[in-house]
Amino acid sequence: MKLATPLADLTEKEWRRQVLQLADTLGWKSYFTFISKGSSHGFPDLVLARDRVVFLELKREKGKLTDQQKVWLRALLAAGQDAFVVRPRDLESLAAVLACRNPPTTILGRHAASDGLRAATLDEAA
């Protein structure tokens, strides 16, 4: 029997696989730039589309945003898009957010949800 990988040891690749599986299960189309050579630095890891578009920057438990990632998140939020920084500990909250169809702005919007999923805010992306 294989034991679960502790959250702190989960690689970004393993984390991405979990998020993509969740998104697929909930009916989302997903995009991931497999080879980013020539792409804009800092663009979020995943773009999900269903009844809205969601941008996800995936981080390991202790991962930090780069300056380029902050620029992209700031730009997406300024354009009124849902852009999130998500870590393995956020899986349950992410599932709740992705399960919602056309969620009210009090759930996603530009503010962190009270259940722990952190929306990338202009302050966080600064």
Q: What is the pLDDT of residues 78-104, one digit of tens each?
A: 898 889 999 999 899 899 889 988 764
Q: Is 46 exposed, middle or buried (0-12, 13-18, 19+ CB in 10 A)?
A: buried
Report which residue type is found at 40. Answer: S
Strand partners, 58: 86
**Least confident span in 4-13, 27-36, 51-60:** 4-13
Q: What is the mean pLDDT of residues 32-45?
A: 81
Q: What is the mean pLDDT of the chain?
A: 79
Residue 121 has a pLDDT of 43
Q: What is the average per-residue pLDDT within 14-36?
A: 91
DSSP-derived 3-state class of residue 95: helix
CATH 3.40.50.1370 fits 9-99, yes or no: no
Give the model's pLDDT for residue 100: 86
Of 100, 88, 97, 85, the closest CA to residue 45 belongs to 85
Residues 6+ apart with CB under 8 A from 29: 48, 49, 50
